[in-house]
Amino acid sequence: MAERKRAAITAVGHYLPENRLTNADLEEMVETNDEWIRTRTGIEERRILKDDDKASAFMGSEAAKEVLEQRGLSGEDIDVIVFATVTPDYLFPATACLVQKEIGASNAYAFDLSAACSGFLFALTTGANFIESGRAQKVLVIGADKMSSIIDYTDRSTCILFGDGAGAVLLEPSGNENGIIDYIHRSEGDTNLSLYQPAGGSLNPASEQTVADRLHYAKQDGRTVFKKATVGMADVSAEILKDNDLTADDVDWLVPHQANLRIIDATANRMGLDNEKVMVNIDKYGNTTAATIPLCLYDWKDKLDEGDNLILAAFGGGYTWGSIYVKWGGK
Average pLDDT value for residue range 124-135: 98
Residue 1 pLDDT class (50, 70, 90 cuts):
very low
Distance of CA 272 to the CA centre of its chain: 24
330: helix, coil or strand? coil
Average pLDDT value for residue range 179-186: 98
pLDDT in tens, 67-78: 999 999 999 999
Average pLDDT value for residue range 320-326: 98
Residue 330 pLDDT class (50, 70, 90 cuts):
low
Q: Does the pLDDT value for residue 331 go beyond 80?
A: no
In terms of Cα–Cα distance, which of 283, 288, 289, 291 is closest to 317? 289
In terms of Cα–Cα distance, which of 136, 42, 172, 120 is closest to 316? 120
Q: Rounded to whole angstroms, how far apart are CA atoms 157 and 314?
A: 20
Q: H or E segment at 180?
A: strand 179-187
Q: What is the pLDDT of residue 3?
A: 61
Single-letter code of the amino acid located at 27: E
Residue 145 pLDDT class (50, 70, 90 cuts):
very high
pTM score:
0.97
pLDDT in tens, 202-244: 999 999 999 999 999 999 999 999 999 999 999 999 999 999 9
pLDDT in tens, 288-310: 999 999 999 999 999 999 999 99
Q: Is the peptide bond before 90 cis (omega within 30 degrees of 0)?
A: no
Q: Is the peptide bond before 93 cis (omega within 30 degrees of 0)?
A: yes
Residue 4 pLDDT class (50, 70, 90 cuts):
confident
Instruction: Show which residues are catalytic.
Output: 117, 257, 287
Q: Rounded to whole angstroms, how far apart are CA atoms 317 and 289?
A: 10
pLDDT above 70 as % of the chain: 98
What's the Cα-to-Cα distance from 250 to each of 236, 293, 294, 301, rounded to whole Å?
Answer: 17, 20, 22, 19
Residue 44 pLDDT class (50, 70, 90 cuts):
very high
Q: Does the pLDDT value for residue 2 go beyond 90?
A: no
pLDDT in tens, 272-284: 999 999 999 999 9
Average pLDDT value for residue range 315-330: 95
